[in-house]
Amino acid sequence: MGDRANVIVVRGNGTHELYRTGWAVGIDLDLLEGPAPVLAMLPGLRQDGWWLDDTMAQGGILLDLGRKVLLFFAWEGPSTELRHRAAMFELIRAAWPGWEVRWLYDGPAELREYVGLDPEYVRCRDSDLSLAPLLAPDEEDLAGPDPGGVVITVSTGRCHVASDAFDHPVREGAALLDRLADAPGHGDCDLHVNSGIHLDPERRHLGWWSLYSSPQAYQVPELWPGWTVEFWQDDWERHVGASDRFSPAAFDAGEGARAAVLTEAGERRAVRAQSRPGHPSTDRTGLIPGGMTSTGLVMDGWPTSRIQAQ
């Protein structure tokens, strides 16, 4: 499968082991089962020496068994959704009592830094920037309760929304202002987006946030010379306070959100169970429910393709 994630286990003596799964989308849901079930998924997924880079890693987990530290990130899943993020973290911390649980905003580079390896190994600095399209209010991409997207406000008078399926627009630097000049306006934005930027050109001040990982997140100030850049991490409420144009529609971040996350986790466990070798729903062609294919190895519901290192 194409949704790839590295999993790193740091043993009590400080040595680490590298694994790879092909089921990165929703990998945060697997963490709700606690440490033991996650570790039980790993035998057979060992991938020493092949670290997914910034463009290929759609998720990642690190378990430091000695220090009881859990680090993770994902491009998709409840932890990247405005309505569910707080509930997701609450449930994960409950499943990992005594552990420090932390999100990684710079993805695979931070995984390598934690174990003392050079983060540049997973950088893709020569790749072209993928400009995110600026969307009109009636775009189909913005429909539904969790449309995602990047809300961009300019001073107190303008609001735009970009797609979140491309590079974060903050990586464009000041050239972003030129693109916004003719961008569709949104008046006020009440969408449940998962990222945002607030620009104050007069003061040359920028604040930005994201619920998913973004390559080189902590190096954004280098792309905006002469500007003051604040990284608000996942604190979207800082954006609400900075602009009168962004105010997400009210949502239940409590019991309702927890119930929705647990339901989704149960559905994922059911699909994982069906994908195990020998299950009657997995036929000889390797097809499993939902149109997914299981080529290569499957271990406790974490299928992974036999992809050779490049």
Mean pLDDT for the stretch of residues 185-205: 96
With b for 16 or more beta-carbon neighbours within 10 A and e for fewer, the 241-276 pattern comes to ebbebbebeeeeeeeebbebbeebbeebbebbebbb
Closest CA to 1 of 58, 62, 50, 54: 58
> If pLDDT is split at 50, 70 and 90, which confidence band does 306 have?
very low
Residue 221 confidence (pLDDT): 98
Residue 24 confidence (pLDDT): 86
Cα–Cα distance for residue pair 112/120, rounded to 1 Å:
9
Closest CA to 206 of 194, 223, 185: 223
Enumerate the H helices of 16-123 as residue ranges. Answer: 27-30, 35-40, 85-95, 108-114
Q: Under DSSP, is residue 238 helix (H, G, I), strand (E, B) or coil?
A: helix
Instruction: Say whether pLDDT at 1 is over 90.
Output: no
**Range with lowest mean pLDDT among 80-89, 196-205, 220-229, 276-285:** 276-285
State the average pLDDT for the chain.
87
List the structure tokens of 171: 């990586």
Cα–Cα distance for residue pair 161/87, rounded to 1 Å:
25
Residue 305 confidence (pLDDT): 31
> If pLDDT is split at 50, 70 and 90, which confidence band does 284 have?
very low
Residue 289 confidence (pLDDT): 30
Residue 303 confidence (pLDDT): 38
Residue 127 confidence (pLDDT): 75
> If pLDDT is split at 50, 70 and 90, which confidence band does 89 have?
very high
Residue 298 confidence (pLDDT): 36
Residue 46 confidence (pLDDT): 85
> If pLDDT is split at 50, 70 and 90, which confidence band does 223 have?
very high
Residue 286 confidence (pLDDT): 30
Cα–Cα distance for residue pair 74/30, rounded to 1 Å:
12
What φ, ψ does residue 189 adopt, rounded to 5°? -110, 120
List the structure tokens of 167: 């590079």
- The DSSP call for residue 278 is T
Report CA-CA distances (Å) from 36 to 28, 94, 303: 15, 14, 19
Per cent of the chain over pLDDT 70 is: 88
Comparing 71 with 293, which gets the higher pLDDT?
71
Comparing 308 with 67, which gets the higher pLDDT?
67
What's the one-letter identity of residue 164? D
Closest CA to 123 of 110, 109, 113: 109
With b for 16 or more beta-carbon neighbours within 10 A and e for fewer, the 173-203 pattern comes to eeebeebbeebeebeebebbbbbbbbbbeee
**Range with lowest mean pLDDT among 5-14, 125-134, 161-170, 239-248:** 125-134
Mean pLDDT for the stretch of residues 105-126: 94
Per cent of the chain over pLDDT 90 is: 76
Comparing 43 with 218, which gets the higher pLDDT?
218
Residue 277 confidence (pLDDT): 58
Residue labelled with tokens 């040359």:
204
Residue labelled with tokens 């849901």:
29
64 pairs with which residues across the strands? 10, 69
Cα–Cα distance for residue pair 24/122, rounded to 1 Å:
17
Q: Please compute Rg for the chain using Cα positions.
A: 20
